[in-house]
Amino acid sequence: MTTSDRVDVPPAVSPRPGRARWLSLLVVCLGVMMAFLDVTSTISALGAIQADLDIDSSTLVWITSAYSLAVVSFVMSAGTLGDLVGRRRMFSIGATVFLAGSVLAVLAGSAELLIAAQAVAGLGGAAVLPTSLAIVSSTFDDPHERTAAIGIWAACSGIGLAVGPVLAGALLEHFAWHAVYLANIVIAAAALLLVPVFVTESKHPTRRLDVPGLALGTVMTASATYAIIQGGATGYARAPIILVYVVFAVTSFAFVRVELRHPDPMLDLRLFKNASFSAVMGVATVSVFGLVGVALLSVLYMQRVGQISPLGVGVRLLPLFVTFLVVTVISARVLVHKVGYTALLTGGLLLMAAGSFALLRTDPSGGYGAVWPGLLVAGAGAGLLTAPSTAAAVNSVPPAQEGMAASAVNMARQLGTVLGPSVLGTLVTGRFPGNLRRRLLDEGVPSAQSDKLVHGVSHGAGGAGAPAPLAEIITRSAHTAFTDAVHLGHIVGGAVLLIMAVPTALFVRHKANHGSPVGT
């Protein structure tokens, strides 16, 4: 029997009645919150980590990227395994692995060990994210109620993103950076204790193991993600990066052939023949790319130019994340039913782009007055995107494929989590040294001395120990150079959001009916 011949199959376990369903939702949302908390709390701690471990910018990128690389590489496989062995069981396994990675991060004394810890935590996050969404989808069978539940699920990602910088900043005021990962341990432990009590086990009733698809899909996504991250740090034209892209091309070709022929594929590629479904996947990727990218660039600007403490940075990011959280809830519960997916998703992308471009008002003074309006607008735009794009993906497929859709949209979102820091963060860190060298030369600093100063500033040394006139030149030049680099990041991020708005407006269906593909 081929995928196109398959009939809809009801969930293996009937949805739980009444209040029990909402308690189940809140429990799995703990997992979602911890998965996103790790992202922004780690970003907020990067300055302290770099100063303590004395690591260069190319290595620093991997502190955050190792987590996202693991999530992107394994999220589809984990979603499939959850359908087979049980979503509650896979969620618990993921929380356990995430807990182990967080413990390792607390104990890490080197960059290599911290990167390994983040990769382990990412494996756990890869299991938690798709299974939590699949649990929500199987628990709520009414499409409108499911959309509201998915809105809460998506809002919890916003809570994690919002709490991360503030919590990290508060801990960094009193403790070393290791303490940032203690919150992950607490949340993961709470989830492990509560899941057996409140969450009902569910499986896909007819799913079969697709070993070739699992293997090829993992290598395909891992190779592409690694090349994006490492290529941004070392250059995309280097031989090792080109070799990785060859691996990606070969495994992509093999993956498509295998999945199209498999009677029960890990990812039904026929879904992507529908322009609307493909556009929704693009929105899921670009929305997180924009949100995490704006957050990262703002953190870097406020820390490096504004010289604001980690706690102060966390508080100043609240206009972005609180607005995102509030608008996410409103869009899921009210707006999506009134105006439909097309208007929300297109409007959200345009708002996020406007927020990115508004942040071009920032200058080398580091003042916050030019920052918060852009954060507010970008947060509102992101809030219009998260729940509707997730609901559009899950509601667009038959019940038997909800787990697959949940994994696909999570993979798309996590790809955005990788691309945001990797592309925009690397763009800033890669452009900054050249900008600084030019500024120093313009200030009359000799070429050889400029090279030494650029190396020192890039490693966090600043103008310490230099004579007062030279220290003032270094500070002024560094702030201007870094602001220019951040502006380039905002221009690229805003342009990507604007470009994605075009296919969204053209191809995403106004509303989706549960049980039929979007756009049909």
Q: What is the pLDDT along the chain (520 residues), one digit of tens a residue?
A: 333 333 333 444 444 556 788 889 999 999 989 988 898 888 888 888 988 988 877 788 788 888 888 888 888 888 888 888 899 999 999 999 999 999 999 999 999 999 999 999 999 999 998 899 889 888 887 777 777 787 788 778 778 877 888 899 899 988 999 999 999 999 999 999 999 999 989 887 777 778 888 899 889 988 988 887 787 667 778 888 999 999 999 999 999 999 888 888 878 888 888 788 888 899 999 998 999 889 889 988 998 899 898 889 888 988 998 898 888 878 877 777 778 888 899 999 999 999 999 999 999 999 999 999 999 999 999 989 887 887 777 766 666 676 677 667 777 887 787 778 777 877 887 788 888 888 888 888 888 888 888 877 766 666 656 677 887 888 888 899 999 999 999 999 999 999 999 999 998 876 544 443 333 3
User: Which domains, and CATH codes, for the chain?
Assistant: 14-210+264-437+479-507 (1.20.1250.20), 211-263 (no CATH)
Q: For residues 420 and 295, what is the distance between their CA atoms, to the nearest angstrom?
A: 9
**CA nearest to 77, candidates 195, 203, 221:** 221
Tell me the residue type at 208: R
Cα(319)–Cα(148) distance, integer angstroms: 23
End-to-end CA distance of the chain: 23
What is the pTM assigned to this prediction?
0.79
Cα–Cα distance, 116 to 121 (Å, whole number)? 9
